């Protein structure tokens, strides 16, 4: 009987618990969790509490799902004991430790992936294909939501999203939109705009951002992000040279419209779908060379987001 590969999760917040459940559906892997306190509610039988225990475990891969401010430090520790890396977005809130991490990854021949699950959304995949085939004239991105409803049963004001120091705020929390703009339309050259706190939410991070992504190909794409709206909206609108596309990521529909007709494609997917596809990708490719969205690739965009964040707040 083949021995199960060990996977370690380094944080059991909402996203860590989701990955604990979904990775646990794969019978060839044994899942462990590194906890900061023995007093926390036990969420899995395989819990460890120190970095010494983590190193002795010798995991095949580590899922880095602790607060953003700890991502690169944690990734470097795990790379040093030879684990492949699945780093929940964003890569971090500073890039100071990235060169050291890249050296260890190269020396130990590790795989490292920065997780943006929306790249596995069938609607975004279809939209990317249409843009590649037709080109585009303009695009607009919008994501509004209400932070207190993000994590059921938790106090939003005590979450890392509420804390600028921990890497919270819409700019990094909602960086999926930044990632897919960069992925679909081409590399971002610079970012201009305004980030601010406009609501009365009990947070010290920005809750609203309006940006323009200036692309290397000369195009400019506006993005609005906020988590202080009672109305949930998540969409991207694209005008190509011969038709208009509207992808609604709430209803999971892609509308195409031209001079003569309108068609709507619906995607019958649940909230776990893109995460499951992402996990399948990681398990199939880790240990087999360079992966999609490596830390170096993710850092190219993140560095521009961090410059914008520093200047605009």
Place of tokens 């970095």: 51
pLDDT digits (tens, 9 = 90+) for 68-95: 999 999 999 999 999 999 999 999 999 9
Relative to beta strand 253-257, strand 262-266 is antiparallel
Select from 219, 216, 74, 24 the least CA-distant residue to 137. Answer: 219
pLDDT tens digits for range 90-113: 999 999 999 999 999 999 999 999
In Å, how far from its chain's centre is CA 206? 18
DSSP state of 96: T
Spell out a b/e string for 243-262, using b for 16 or more CB atoms within 10 Å of the CB, else e: bebbbbbeebebbbeeeeee
> Which class would CATH give 118-256+294-312?
alpha beta
CATH architecture of 5-116: 3-Layer(aba) Sandwich (3.40)
Whether residue 143 has pLDDT greater than 80: yes
- List, for residues 144-184, the tens digit of each pLDDT value: 999 999 888 788 898 878 888 888 899 999 999 999 999 99
191 with 304: CB under 8 angstroms?
A: yes
pTM of the model: 0.93
Question: How far is residue 82's CA from residue 108's CA, in Å, rounded to a whole number?
Answer: 7
Query: Residue 273 to residues 18, 24, 256: CA-CA distances in angstroms?
Result: 12, 15, 23
pLDDT value of position 151:
83
Closest CA to 87 of 295, 301, 300: 295
Place of tokens 């001079």: 259
Average pLDDT (215-240) is 97
- For strand 112-115 and strand 84-88, is the pairing parallel, antiparallel, or unpaired? parallel
* Residue boundaries of the structural domains of the chain: 5-116, 118-256+294-312
**Angle formed by the axes of helices 122-134 and 175-185, to 10°?**
30
Phi/psi zone of residue 252: left (φ > 0), alpha (ψ -120 to 50 degrees), beta? left
Q: Where are the alpha helices (DSSP H) in the chain?
A: 14-23, 51-57, 71-80, 98-108, 122-134, 170-173, 175-185, 273-285, 295-312
């Amino acid at each position: 009987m083949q021995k199960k590969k060990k996977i370690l999760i380094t944080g059991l917040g909402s996203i860590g618990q989701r990955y604990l459940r979904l990775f646990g559906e794969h019978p060839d892997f044994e899942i462990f969790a590194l906890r900061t306190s023995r007093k926390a509610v036990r969420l899995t039988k395989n819990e460890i509490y120190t970095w010494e225990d983590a190193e002795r475990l010798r995991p095949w891969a580590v899922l880095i799902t602790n607060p953003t401010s700890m991502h690169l430090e944690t990734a470097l520790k795990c790379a040093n004991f030879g684990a492949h890396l699945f780093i929940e977005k964003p890569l971090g809130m500073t890039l100071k430790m990235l060169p050291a991490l890249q050296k260890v990854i190269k020396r130990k021949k590790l795989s490292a992936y920065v997780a943006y699950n929306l790249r596995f959304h069938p609607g975004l995949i279809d939209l990317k294909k249409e843009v590649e085939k037709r080109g585009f004239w303009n695009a607009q991105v919008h994501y509004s939501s209400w932070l207190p409803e993000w994590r059921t049963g938790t106090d939003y004001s005590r979450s890392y999203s509420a804390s600028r120091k921990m890497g919270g705020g819409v700019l990094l929390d909602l960086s999926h939109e930044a990632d897919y703009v960069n992925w679909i339309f081409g590399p971002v050259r610079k970012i201009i705009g305004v980030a601010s706190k406009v609501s009365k939410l009990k947070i010290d991070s920005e809750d609203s951002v309006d940006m323009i992504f200036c692309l290397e190909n000369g195009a400019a794409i506006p993005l609005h992000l906020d988590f202080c709206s009672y109305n949930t909206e998540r969409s991207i609108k694209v005008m190509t040279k011969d038709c208009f596309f509207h992808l609604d990521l709430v209803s999971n529909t892609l509308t195409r419209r031209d001079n003569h007709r309108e068609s709507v494609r619906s995607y019958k997917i649940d909230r776990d779908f893109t995460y499951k596809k992402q996990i399948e990708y990681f398990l199939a490719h880790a240990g087999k060379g360079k992966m999609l969205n490596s830390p170096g690739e993710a850092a190219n965009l993140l560095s521009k987001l961090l410059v914008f964040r520093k200047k605009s707040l």
